[in-house]
Chain A
Amino acid sequence: MWEAFKQWFHRWGSPKWFYERSLVWSFWLGWGAMILLPIGIVWGLAFAPQDYQQGNSFRIIYLHVPAAILAQSCYMIMAVAGFVSLVWRMKMADVVLKCAAPIGASFCFLALFTGAVWGKPTWGTWWEWDARLTAMLILLFLYFGVIALEAAIEDKITAGRAAAVLSLVGVVNIPIIKYSVEWWRTLHQPATFKLTEKPDMPVEMWAPLLVMVIGVYCFFGYSLFLRSRNEIIERERRTLWVRELLAKEGKV
């Protein structure tokens, strides 16, 4: 049992194995995203009932909440990858950490942007130094920090370690984002989805939201593996299997 686990774990360290498996994973994730996202968007924009207080501006929720959930999950994935990279020196963990950062940053930006656009008609302001908004802005800067470290340090191993440390340190911000709406009741409303309770809205409203959240996760996985494969080719360019792979594509 332990041996089997060790073998499984070791395979994760192999760039070639990861590259080949990720083709299968991203195939399914890509299809999942391509089916779920259009369904969720059309359902949320055109079919879900409007909110009795906010009217139709509430439809921004179908982008805002999935983007915010993804931005936080992505950072937690980076922290786990950073831990694995620091403790076991696993190459693939470095690759995943580096490739996840720009995706997480873009969705963090989207969460902030859609929040501002939603805030204007709802709260009467684009921005307020509310606890959750501020913590989310800090998350965006943490993403920028990881991206900057990866870009600024030439040596891949040193860059990987620096990014891993920042990911691990920055992850304390995640529970702050989560509980900010309960600790400081300033402006932002509490969570829409909780793992333990039924959502506080009718099913016609939260079902498309759930579809969007799952679709955005699929999209994230798809994009992450696209980026990871590029990064693997770049890092392993001197190996025979990468040469053969590119030759097979008819480019050499």
Chain B
Amino acid sequence: MNFESLNEFFAMGGHGLYVWLAYGAGGLVFLYNLAAPKLKRGSLVKRLSQQYRREKASQ
């Protein structure tokens, strides 16, 4: 461990703002790349299921 305490870890030797800002942005980018395709999948399956049902009903 490079830090003596948790406070020291969060402070990052006075560079805490920069380090945590960068890692916060990183977290958002990873989250976006997970959530966007998973949400899309849900809405896509729903839309196509409705479409298939409509087609079946009109036959």
Could you tell me which A residues sit within 8 Å of B by CB distance?
37, 41, 45-50, 55-57, 59-60, 63-64, 67, 102-103, 106-107, 109-110, 113-114, 117-118, 120-121, 219, 223, 226-227, 229-230, 233-234, 237, 242-243, 246, 249, 251-252
A110 with B48, Cβ < 8 A, contacts A55-B14, A230-B40 known: no
16 more contacts with CB within 8 A, not counting A109-B29, A121-B15, A246-B45, are A37-B30, A45-B9, A48-B2, A55-B12, A55-B13, A60-B19, A60-B22, A64-B22, A67-B29, A102-B36, A106-B29, A107-B29, A226-B34, A230-B41, A237-B51, A251-B49
Closest chain B CB from A182 CB (angstroms): 26
Q: Which 6 A-B pairs have the closest CB atoms?
A: A226-B37, A57-B15, A56-B12, A114-B22, A223-B33, A56-B13
The docked-state distance in angstroms from the alpha carbon of A113 to that of B53 is 46
A243 with B52, Cβ < 8 A, contacts A109-B29, A227-B37 known: yes
Q: Chain B: interface secondary structure?
A: helix
**Count the B residues whose beta carbon is within 8 Å of the partner chain — how many?**
34
